[in-house]
Amino acid sequence: SAKEHYDSNITKKALFDPIENARACAAILKDYLTRYNNNYTYALASYNAGPKITDESYKSKKRPFNIHYVISVYETAAKRTI
């Protein structure tokens, strides 16, 4: 959650602010990237499903159960340009 990764005092109301929401999301993804040794697949899977279930896949070197979510994120990102 944002409280665990970003700011323990953050409120639900603050998460509706696009700037605060983006900061919280970035902090969560950064933590997951560190947790999974910069492996974006597991970081995104954990962002979607939570670390408990993703840790099981990571430790056993299996694809995350929500691999279709991860693929859709990659595909969407590939279609966008900044």
**pLDDT over 70 for what percent of the chain?**
87
Q: What is the reported pLDDT for 12?
A: 78
pLDDT, average across residues 35-40: 96
pTM summary value = 0.81
37: phi > 0 → left, psi -120 to 50 → alpha, else beta; which? Answer: left
Q: What is the reported pLDDT for 10?
A: 74
Q: Is the C-alpha dihedral spanning 69, 40, 34, 15 positive or negative?
A: negative
pLDDT tens sequence across 39-66: 999 999 999 999 999 999 999 999 999 9
Q: What is the reported pLDDT for 75?
A: 94
